[in-house]
Amino acid sequence: MAEFDGFRALAEQGLRAVGDDPVARRRLELMRDMYAFMMERFPGLLDEWDRMKDGR
């Protein structure tokens, strides 16, 4: 999950760097939000995968 947090942090840095450019801000906000979502959901997906493969 460190990779997701690293990309999310890069998006935060980008937001500080781009200032008021609305197009760049929107892209970076989406990137930040996607990686935050992935950080939240990925552990559950791994757990689900473990249960599925153990059931095979």
Q: Give CA–CA dist 29/24, Å, rounded.
A: 9
In the structure, what pLDDT confidence band is assigned to residue 2 with cuts at 50, 70 and 90? confident
In the structure, what pLDDT confidence band is assigned to residue 53 with cuts at 50, 70 and 90? very high
> Which amino acid is located at 21 in the chain?
D
Q: Give CA–CA dist 27/1, Å, rounded.
A: 22
- pLDDT digit string, tens, across residues 11-51: 999 999 999 999 999 999 999 999 999 999 999 999 999 99
| Chain-centre distance for alpha carbon 50 | 22
Q: Are 15 and 25 in contact (CB under 8 A)?
A: yes
pLDDT at residue number 56: 80
- pLDDT digit string, tens, across residues 23-34: 999 999 999 999
